[in-house]
Structure formats: structure tokens, C-alpha cells
Chains A and B, each alone.
Chain A
Amino acid sequence: MRAYIIRRLIQSILVIFAVTTIMFFMFRIVPADPTAMMVERGMSEEARQALLERWGLTGSLWDQYLRYIGGLVVGDFGDSFFYRQPVWDVLVPRIVNSLWIALPGLLLGALIGSGLGMIVGWSRRGGVIERSGVLGATIIRGTPSFILGIALLAIFSSWLGWLPGFGMGDSHGKEGWARFLQVEFFIHLILPVLAVIIYFLPENLLLMRSGVVENKHEDYIELVRAKGVSEKRVAWHAGRNSLLPLITWLFPALAETIAGIVVIEIVFSWPGIGRELVLAVTRQDFPLAQAAFFLMAVMIVLANLAADLAYGKLDPRVVYK
């Protein structure tokens, strides 16, 4: 077990390394002259050199690459062109903001989605619950996240006027955790989190339903029913078995889900890492964009690792080698 985890960790690090490398060269090779975008016009040659040096843009591409990787290893992402401060300082609060909407949204979306999927899968085939459940989930799944966000904004913010749909609210001068422990913040949190839930829910529902439909005709389900246990308990067995494919899908799906959250952050002007990435790209603030992208890739790799380990916990047939 420990050997397996160590091997998976090494694998993950290699994957992250590969992604970082691809990213680095994409940023350096694709634009015609990277320095031209980063250096202000009308600057003296010495000042230009000093800037280039500060941002690690001197020397051959290979030197730059080595310096960049060396920096990453010690947690140095360089400085943001736009904010003129270390990228890390810019990103940390953004990541925290993103987690505020991502974690509850994804968790609730998965729970509610798989719960509804159970019900839809267990309901009579071709019946009203089954058909409307599948159709409804498919339509919501077919709704791009920004349209979902716009619809929520239109209904709850513009039309009903119940909830704010812009930003995180006034900080009232508070910093750190105190900033988040305010009623105003939570009111601002509702709509974006709701958008993430609705966005993440249908795939969980459909996958859980497929699993239950596949399992409910298995022999073991018949025997469980023959034992005279409650129908709820029978459904539990089908659900428990359907959890396995759901888990294998769930964590890697976060890669796609992050994409949806980026757009949701933009719609609700939520100052998260996704919105920052888009801003950095449009501002051509490459150190920042590169770091934001890197962190997202790390999250996905970690999620995959978590999926493997969770699967091992849930499926007794898995043997770690």
C-alpha cells in the first residue's frame, strides 16, 4: 500500500513536471517576441536589461527554463508583470476565494446529483420519474455554465432582487478569516455556489443512474430482494456498487469542472483563480497566467491521486501492487 502511494506520487510529480515544461515552452515560443510584450517602450537599455533579469528572461531559452524550474522547486513563481509583486502573493487569496465556491458547490452537487441519480435509476423504466429525470438532467448538462450563471443572475438578482450577483461584498476593512465570516460575504456566496451545484449535478445524476440501471438486474440484487429486506436496502446495494464507476469518473471530471468554474467566476465577478487566469492572459501577464495554470494542473493531478486511493477504499477487489 505504501509502495503504491509512493509510486503514484512519483508518477504525479512526473506528470506535473511534463505539464510545466509544455506550458513553459508554449509561453516562450508561441509569441513572436516575448520580451516585446513585457518591456515598456521608451525604456533605457539598462533598465530593460534589469527588468529582463528580474523576470528571468535573459540567457538562452534553456537557461531560462532551468531557472524557471529551479524557482518552482523552491516555490518561486516569479513576479507578476501587472501587479508588480510576487505571483504567489497575488494567487494565494484568489485560490482561497475559488475554494469558497468550488468546494461546497462540488460537494453538494455530487451528493445531490448521486442521490437523485439513485432515485431516477431505481424508478420504473419508461415511467414519468425516469423520463423526466433523464431529460431534465440532459438539458441542464447541455447548458453552458455561463448561461446557467446568467439565468441565475437574471432571476434572483435582477428580477426578484433577492441576492447580489457581483463580487464578494464589502470587506468592511476586515482581513484574513474575519473577512469571510460576515453575513454579507455569505449572501454573495449563494448564487455562485448555486451555479456550481447545478452545473455539477446532472453528470453525477446521469452516471449514478446508469450504474443503478446496470446493477439492478444483476443476480445479487435478486438474491438480496429474496432475503426479504426492505426495498430501500435493496436499492442501497445497487447504489453502493454504482458508486465505484462514479468515483473513477468524479475526480478526473474535476478537470472539466474547473473549466466551468472559471466561467462562473467571470459571470459573478468572483475574484478567484480562474477569473485571474483570464485577466492575466488578456493582460499578457505571463508569469501570473503560467502559475495559475500550473496550480490548476496540480489540483487535477492530486484529484486523480485521490480518486485512485478512494477507489481502493471502496472496492475490495482492488489490490495495490
Chain B
Amino acid sequence: MTNSKTNLDARLERKPSVELSVRDLKVSYRTRNGYFHALDGIDFDLQPGSVLGLVGESGCGKSTVVKALMRLLPEGTKVTGEVKLDGDDLLAMGQSELRDVRWNKISLVTQSAMNSLDPVVCIGDQIVESILAHEKVSKDIAWERAESLFELVGLLPKRLHEFPHQFSGGMRQRAVIAMALSLNAGLLLADEPTTALDPIMQDQIMASIRKIQEMLKRSMILVTHDIGLVAENCDTVAVMYAGKIVEAGPVQEVLVSPEHPYTIGLHNAFPRMLEEGQERPPLISIAGSLPNLLDPPKGCRFQNRCPLASEICSAEEPTLIQKSNGRRVACHHVDKTEQFRTIANKSETWAIGAGDLT
């Protein structure tokens, strides 16, 4: 039954993937103590069918990017800039246009699949709900679609009748992915899709996402704090720090020869496979914490944790410089990175107050 493709399946399969361009996106949350500037001028492009990794430590604003793209920010949040989805400005859309775009063009795999399903509605109905919101089809057709989606993500179709609490964490995550694919949206936002799972389950889920991406050729943004996941799954990467992109470019380039001190530090903060005969470098943690975004400091936002910081860093904000090979980096000391990289895998380098290495 699930092998026979319905008209709906065929129609959805022909959907093109989406081109996304984000320009000068700024988001400020309203809090009791004033505005919290979570994003401050984010720029990036996503080619149709490619995967962008958005990476950074928690609190850097990467999840805010997802919420802004989904227009799910709380009331009273200031959002400026431009988000073009195949040329249409997402931020300027009215409620009904927005409802049309959601799930049809952008869909979402959420951070904690634990709480992202309604506990008292069976999973099949939740998937069907998303289909019926956009397609004029019968409930049976929608349910058939849900069955084929369940098969696609590796779940038994008959379990569509079950409720979220009857699923394990990994199964719930798969169900959420199936739901995200229900209308074959051109852009898939995956916000820490595997964070809540154990490592083995993480691998399985990521493998499944990879397989689906290759098959459906969707545009995708993968938000994660795990550089390893970016290396395995993404075409391009944008490294975020304190509400800004500090470095971006093709994955092979940025991760093999990072240029921004933060990227270099982040790179060394993860264990990785070693080449034959290579000595295991120590895992480095970057001392210090994010600046207060209620009142962002002048100059470079990484200065208080950066071993390379000098006077210019606290006086002037570095701009994101476009380089020839599609790479972008925002640092006053790009010229020193070559020499910095050699000492960056020593933990003393990152100790607070290590002083100026300039």
C-alpha cells in the first residue's frame, strides 16, 4: 500500500529546494532589564540543495537564527534586516502569507523532540495535521503520506497510532523528522537535532538525515555546537559568536585551516580522529564567558577571551572581510593566524590573562 505513490507524493516530490539569503539580520529580545541583542547583523546565503552548518557555543544566537527564520520569536522582539526566501521577504510577510510559507517552504526539526510533540494527540494525527493545513486532500491520503514518511525515517507505519510517551527518545526524534518532511519543504532547519540523544543514537539519526538529504536534495541549515557534525554533514559553515558571524566559508577550508582565533579554539575544543603518527593534542577549553548582550562591548566581542587581543580590538569592531575563495572572517589579526595556530593547541595560550601575544 505504501509503495503505491499517491498524487500527493508525486506532487510534493517535484517541489524545488529553496534559495535563502539573509542580510543584516538583527534580533533583540525584550527583557526586564532592557533589550537583549541576541543577533547583531547576520549575513549569509544558502544555495538550493546545499547544507549550511551554523556552529557556536550555547548562547551565541544560533537558535535565534532558526526562530527568526521560522518567525517564532516571542511578541515584543525587535527584528530588522532582510530574509529572502526565493526572493520573497519573509520578515515582511503578513500572518496568512506566513502560514502559507511555514512547512510548505521551511520546516523545522526541533531541539528537544522530547517536548516538541503534543503529548495527548497521536503522532499520526500530528503529522496529518501539518499536511491538511496546506494540502486539500482527504485524511486518508494524508495518513498514507504519513505512513510513507515513517518508513522513510525508519519507523513502523503502524506506530503512527501511538502517542509520544510510547516512543523512545530516538524514535521521537525520527517522528519529528518525518513530520518536518511531510510537505517536502524546500528548506529544512535542524536545530540541534541530536543533542538530547546518546552518541550511538546521534550517529544513527544523523546518518538518516544525511541519507534523506541526499535523496531529496533539500536546502538545509544544521544548527549545532558540535564541529564534528558540521564536518560530516555540511557544505558550508558559519561560526557564530555572541550574536555575530565571525567566520564563514566552505567546510573543508574553514575547518582545515581556520583563521579566526575563536574558530581555532573551537576546533581544538573537540576530540577528533588523528592521522597516523600524529600526536594527540590536549583538549582545549576557552576560558571566560560571553559578553553581556544587554549592553554589548565596544570593539570585537571576543576580545576578553582572545589571546591575540590588542588595543585595536577594544576600539574598533572588525568587519566580516570577504576573501577570494568564498571565505569570510572578522578579525583584526588575520595576518597572525598562521603563527597563532601553532600555539593554539596549548592550554596555557587560552588561560585568562595569558597576556598579549601580539
Contact = CB atoms under 8 A, between A and B. Distances in A.
Chains A and B share a contact (CB less than 8 Å): yes
B120 A314 contact: yes
Contact of B115 (A219, A231, A233, A314): A219
Contacts of B129: 224, 227, 229, 233
B341 interface: no
B100 A228 contact: yes
B28 interface: no
Interface residues of B, number: 33
Nearest to B67: A222
B312 interface: no
A223 interface: yes
A315 B165 CA distance: 11
A227 B118 contact: no
A54 interface: no
B110 A223 contact: yes
Given A124-B75, A228-B101, A317 B133 contact: no
Instruction: Report whether over half of chain A's contact residues are helix, strand or loop; otherwise say mixed.
Output: helix
Contacts of A82: none
Interface stretch (A98-106, A197-205, A236-244): A236-244
Contact of A244 (B115, B120, B122, B133): B120
Interface in B103-122: 103-104, 107-108, 110-112, 115-122
Contact of B99 (A218, A222, A230): A230
A74 interface: no
Contacts of B102: 225-228
Interface in A8-61: none
A220 B116 contact: yes
A2 B134 CA distance: 42
B327 to A, nearest CB: 32
Contacts of A226: 70, 72, 102-103, 107-108
Given A124-B75, A227-B103, A220 B119 contact: yes
Contacts of B112: 219
A229 B99 contact: yes
B130 interface: yes
Interface in B68-86: 70, 72, 75
Contacts of A316: 119-120, 122, 163, 165
B68 to A, nearest CB: 12
Contact of B116 (A219, A229, A317): A219
Contacts of B110: 219, 222-223
A232 to B, nearest CB: 11
A88 B118 CA distance: 49
Contacts of A223: 108, 110, 116-117, 176, 179
A222 B72 contact: yes
Nearest to A316: B163
B119 A233 contact: no
A179 to B, nearest CB: 44
Nearest to B98: A228
Nearest to A243: B120
A237 B121 CA distance: 9
Given A233-B133, A237-B121, A225 B115 contact: no
B165 A224 contact: no
Contact of B118 (A124, A228, A231, A237): A237
Interface in A232-262: 233, 237, 240-241, 244
Contacts of B98: 228
A226 B72 CA distance: 7
Contacts of A244: 120
Nearest to A317: B165
A240 B122 CA distance: 13
A213 to B, nearest CB: 14
Contact of A241 (B116, B119, B122): B119
A86 B203 CA distance: 77
Output the residue of A219, A222, A223, A314 with the most chain B CB within 10 A. Answer: A223
A317 B119 contact: yes
Contacts of B72: 222, 225-226
A231 B96 CA distance: 10
B130 A228 contact: yes
Contacts of B103: 226-228
Nearest to B102: A228
A8 B110 CA distance: 41
A225 B67 CA distance: 12
Interface of B: 70, 72, 75, 95, 98-104, 107-108, 110-112, 115-122, 126, 129-130, 133-134, 163, 165, 176, 179
12 contacts: A219-B115, A222-B72, A226-B72, A227-B103, A227-B130, A228-B102, A229-B133, A241-B118, A241-B119, A244-B120, A315-B120, A317-B163
Interface of A: 124, 218-220, 222-231, 233, 237, 240-241, 244, 314-317
Ranked 6 nearest A-B pairs via Cβ:
A228-B102, A219-B115, A227-B130, A316-B163, A229-B133, A228-B103
